[in-house]
Structure 1
Amino acid sequence: MDLSSLLSPDCTRCAVAGTSKKKVLELIGQLAAPRLSGTTSFDVFESLLNRERLGSTGIGLGVAIPHGRLGTANKPVAVLMTLADGIDFDAIDNQPVDIVFALLVPEEEHEQHLQTLAAVAQRLNDKSCTRALREASSDKELFDLFTDNGSG
């Protein structure tokens, strides 16, 4: 899967000072909304928050993959950020989260949503990938590391 078709440089942030899960979800909304015509940052935040209420998207090893479906979205959009300090995300292993990959998809794209989540989870399960992401020192480096599939 070509992850660069989902993630854009303007939705990639390195070493964000995230103080809480709520603040991180709000920032994701601010970054993603301009890429989703007819969608506000609050719509994105609400979608992510509603999903988190079903159970944390903190998958362990410092990684969270918050995701949501939006009736107003016309294409999938992703946001990737590393956090300057790990935050409590109610992860399954109770460890602080410092890598967040958010995915927002159109309401009707159930199958694509699941396939994309699986591809992202597989990528973020690779310890060499997450190590490199944590060591990135700029938004551009973080974007390039995530989208080049480790080939460079």
Structure 2
Amino acid sequence: MDIQSFLSKDCTECAVSVSSKKRIIEHIGQIAAQHISEMTEQEITAALLNRERLGSTGIGNGIALPHGRLANTTKALAILITTSDPIDYDAIDNQPVNVFFALLVPENQCNEHLKSLAAVAQKLSDKSILKRIRTAQNSQELYQAITE
């Protein structure tokens, strides 16, 4: 699956300054609301927080994959963010997180959702890609690191 099909350059942000899990999810909601006109920032943030309540999407190695299914949209949207400082995210390895790849998908596209998450997880498990993501100096470099 081609990550460029659901991640655009304007949904990629490098070295964002946030201080908590809630703030990074709110920031993701802000970005997503600019691209999903059918839903408000609060609705998107609530969907992500509701999923987080089921269990942390912090998968370890400083990576989190916040995701949610949205009722009122027809297109998948991804957001890639790195933070200037790692934050506590309740990850499975209890380590702080500084790479966030959020995925928002239409409620009725469960199979696509799983395929997209698998493609992202596979990319992020590549040590050379992850190193490029972590050393990116700007959003353009960050986008290139995940899409090349």
1:89-125 CA distances to partner (integer Å, 9 max, x unpaired)? Answer: 1000000000000000000000000111011011111
Corresponding residue number in structure 2 for 1:29: 29
Q: Percent identity?
A: 55
Q: Please state whether the residue corresponding to 1:39 is helix, strand or coil.
A: coil
Q: Which sections of structure 1, spanning at least 5 residues, go unmatched?
A: none
Indicate yes or no: 2:59 matched with 1:59: yes
What is the deviation of 1:37?
2.2
Unmatched runs of 5 consecutive residues or more in structure 2:
none
Tell me which moved more, 20-29 or 122-131. 122-131
| Cα distance in 2 between the residues matched to 1:145 and 1:125 | 13
Q: Structure 1 stretch 104-113 or stretch 137-146: which is displaced more?
A: 137-146
Number of aligned positions between the proteins:
148
Deviating beyond 2 angstroms after TM superposition, the runs of 4 or more aligned structure 1 residues are none
Aligned ranges for residues 1-152 of structure 1 at < 5 Å?
1-148=1-148
Instruction: Report the secondary structure of 1:48's partner residue.
Output: helix
Q: What TM-score results when the alignment is normalised by the length of structure 1?
A: 0.95
Taking the aligned partners of 2:133 and 2:114, their CA distance within structure 1 comes to 23
Q: Distance in 2 between matches of 1:147 and 1:126?
A: 13
CA contact (8 A) 1:66 1:100 kept: yes
